Structure 1
């Protein structure tokens, strides 16, 4: 009988502790659950996206974008769930080829912090916006100026005697509030085509939602008309209107003012055709 260790004792020692130890992702997940935290809680604390947290807990580090970023995520997640990140980083380095060489620059990873990006002024966009504003202002001024000149000619054509000085300009009506929408000029009324229906909607007494359609049901306008604004619609045979607050609206149809006393807040559905205004 030999004296010494048996063959069984001479077998290499098997260290099962390494295999029994949970993986990096599983250790982080178990620590999170033990701390009573959800993935959203961890995301709020670390600024690491929810999808990346789930991937790391499943030991999938590909979404991290590299080992350097993965190590940074592991460190931040470990701190958030109150565990020591050093053993987890050592296990990760052992499984992924060792710790990467240090980078002399500033910290490479900052847990994907969301920071506002500072950009210089976009001079091209500013220039385009300025050009659009200037063109719109010039067009509006030309339109208003043309309407005033035509209004003066219409007064002369109706038989009124033109006078010299400032009396040639229309006398302002003091009975209306200063901020009320001006009534359409006589030239606009006289210029209404006889073979079409022309409807002008003015928000003289307040703002109102309006909708306008032509005889085919095609939408001409659908929106809010602010106080002082006006819209003009034309169609070959018929214009259908819906007024959200009829009491705030003044209507001019085919050159004539509609004298209906609409109640404030009342919703009116109106239809106008060629010739004398007809309410449908």
Structure 2
């Protein structure tokens, strides 16, 4: 019997090696110690709070706030201590009922995304058809005048010049009126309403689990944003975001691109309001 040792010091002598090997928190803690890192070092490197790091190493995932956030924290901590996160994520899914199915975005924002795709009448095609008709008429008149001799040819050439000018003059006005009706690109949200906060989240180079809530705490989206996908959220006061892998996300807030250099695999909790974008 060892005198003066704490229960934690005596734990390696117990016959529970298999159980420790299967523990996610134990694997992360052992890898951190082997890498010569403290909890403070891991917190500074990953931005995950100290209390959450301690809880995960004790296999307590409740402080993470849900399965999506727990997976993101496990992935972030595993990378920080030089572990492959895939087996740990698979183990977490097996122990907690598997990965949930993605929740579709609220119909309000689907309608908002589709609305800019409307186009007005195709005035350009009508204008081109009119010009072709005028040019054909002028060509036919010139050809007919050529049969009457040189004098007739000169008269037709003089008459065709003003006719062509008159038909071509509406061209700039028609093109100008058609230009504002072109559909905006996915990132063109600079014209967002000033009395609301508009947040666009896209994953151009990877994928990430994201969660979005309005100022009342109502869940707007909770699921996987695949590579190339984009979501737009809008509220009268603020949008609360959680990014499972912030390094894969590109943000536009109230028409402005957010230039924060998020680390790959890092979990970020952000809040954006009206006016200049501010990280909460």
TM-score bracket relative to the smaller structure: 0.3 to 0.5
- TM-score normalised over the length of structure 1: 0.34
- TM-score normalised over the length of structure 2: 0.34
Q: Which has the higher contact order (CA 8 A, sep 6+)?
A: 2
The structure with the greater share of residues assigned to helix is: 2
Larger Rg belongs to: 1
